Structure 1
Amino acid sequence: MKPPNSRHNLNNIRPKSPAKDRNTVVLPGTDVAADLEGISAGRGTWVDETSRYEINGRTYAVESTGTVFPVSGPGLVNLSRSEYKVLKQLIGADGDIGAARDALRRDPSIRDADWPTALEVFKYHKSYKGEA
């Protein structure tokens, strides 16, 4: 099994990271490596109905290439494409919400409803400086 792409790790997300339809972000402190080690050692549970592994309350899927990707559970946050775009813009703007809003103002895929979850996830990012 290959570890998840770095685009899933919050502190590795960059403005040019690809946004998929569904994006699972791994929050800092979530030990994905230990989960994968546990799965490899046979401590994970294979769920036939979903073709996914479960360990430590988290669920992982495996692509045909052998690359694992996080799906759900503690320390994992699911974002829509638009929410992920907002998060990337917040990261690129170094947390400047006004600058991020200005940059996304003309993107028709971004709605006001996409901001709260992205802002909540951004609070765990290494560049977060606290409430403005």
Structure 2
Amino acid sequence: MASKKPIYPGATTGRGAVLAVLLSQDDQSGAEPLQGRVTLAAIVKSLKRKYHWPVETNSFPANGPDGRATWATVYSLPEKVVTAALKGEGGQWMADRALARRARVAALDKPAPRAGMRPEWRPPEEPDDA
């Protein structure tokens, strides 16, 4: 069965953030933390099933912070998939994602207006009791 062409998720979504880390081949431990209640495993599952990315999973036993035995998982994309993606539309997608992130950070850096006040707001005039 022929594999489907991978689809790129939205640039500023959690799926987009995870795919960007996988395509960049950077260490995943340095990636920004995910926001919300969605786990990394759920995002990887959707990248595999809905977006058709061949994400490889490697799980191994490890010790948890409290000393109990647990499992650690490493996710990666095959080198040929990364190379093909970056030569194709993936390079542009990564550039668009970086631009969208810069715009989002710039918007967050703007000072917020004071609550309930607009720049053109003036206090109400008091009536004359003459």
TM-score bracket for the superposition, by shorter chain length: under 0.3
Which structure features the higher share of strand residues? Answer: 1
Between structure 1 and structure 2, the one with the greater Rg is 2
Which structure features the higher share of helix residues? Answer: 2
- TM-score, normalised relative to structure 1: 0.22
- TM-score, normalised relative to structure 2: 0.22
Q: Which has the higher contact order (CA 8 A, sep 6+)?
A: 1
